């Protein structure tokens, strides 16, 4: 697909596809990622749109398939992670809002070894997806998830030592 056609397709259907994906994902961040991936696949695929259906329908079909694939992948990863790592709840992130606790947690982070320190910071403070973190390290998304959860466990253990 040439650049001009791709731009027209993107401009004409981005918001429609995004709205459709929001009804599926019910999360803005996920919807944005899926929508971007939809257009990336539509534009970069060697097979071009055949014209058997409306462009919007074609894009929605791609988006739906990506959404289903993501749900399946997350379900598999959640099963793997729940067996491997106990849930330490979201308390760490919530405690960051308390200033004194925040300083203690930052102190724990400062002393933490790599890559746990950087992965945790990229996820919590940088608000990067696990896929983006994995890409930065040249690793998989699963590696980023596991490393992040291990970092959380280490932080939780150290917080318990300090009774934070």
Mean pLDDT by 10 residues, the chain (164 residues): 84 91 88 92 71 78 90 76 54 61 78 87 82 87 91 85 66
Contact 70/34 with Cβ under 8 angstroms?
Answer: yes
How far is Cα 142 from Cα 66, in angstroms, rounded to an integer? Answer: 18
Instruction: Parse the chain into domains and list their residue ranges.
Output: 3-84, 91-162
Cis before 137? omega within 30: no
**pLDDT for residue 15:** 93
Q: Would you put residue 139 in left (φ > 0), alpha (ψ -120 to 50) or beta?
A: beta
pLDDT at residue 37, as a whole number: 92
User: Distance between CA atoms of 73 and 48, rounded to whole angstroms?
Assistant: 27
pLDDT for the residue numbered 93: 59
Question: So what's the architecture of 91-162 in CATH?
Answer: Orthogonal Bundle (1.10)
| CATH code of the region 3-84 | 1.10.1740.10
pLDDT score of 92? 58
Taking the alpha carbons at both ends of the chain, their separation in whole angstroms is 56
């Amino acid at each position: 697909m040439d650049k001009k056609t791709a731009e027209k397709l993107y401009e004409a259907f981005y918001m429609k596809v995004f709205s459709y994906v929001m009804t599926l994902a019910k999360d803005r961040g996920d919807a944005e990622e899926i929508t971007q991936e939809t257009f990336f696949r539509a534009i970069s695929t060697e097979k071009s749109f055949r014209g058997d259906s409306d462009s919007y329908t074609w894009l929605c079909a791609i988006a739906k398939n990506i959404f289903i694939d993501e749900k399946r992948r997350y379900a598999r990863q959640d099963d793997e992670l729940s067996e491997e790592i106990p849930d330490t709840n979201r308390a760490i992130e919530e405690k960051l809002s308390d200033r004194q606790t925040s300083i203690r947690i930052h102190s724990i982070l400062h002393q933490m070894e790599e890559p746990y320190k950087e992965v945790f910071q990229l996820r919590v403070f940088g608000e990067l997806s696990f896929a983006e973190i994995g890409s930065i390290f040249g690793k998989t998304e699963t590696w980023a998830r596991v490393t992040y959860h291990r970092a959380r466990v280490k932080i939780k253990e150290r917080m318990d030592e300090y009774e934070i």
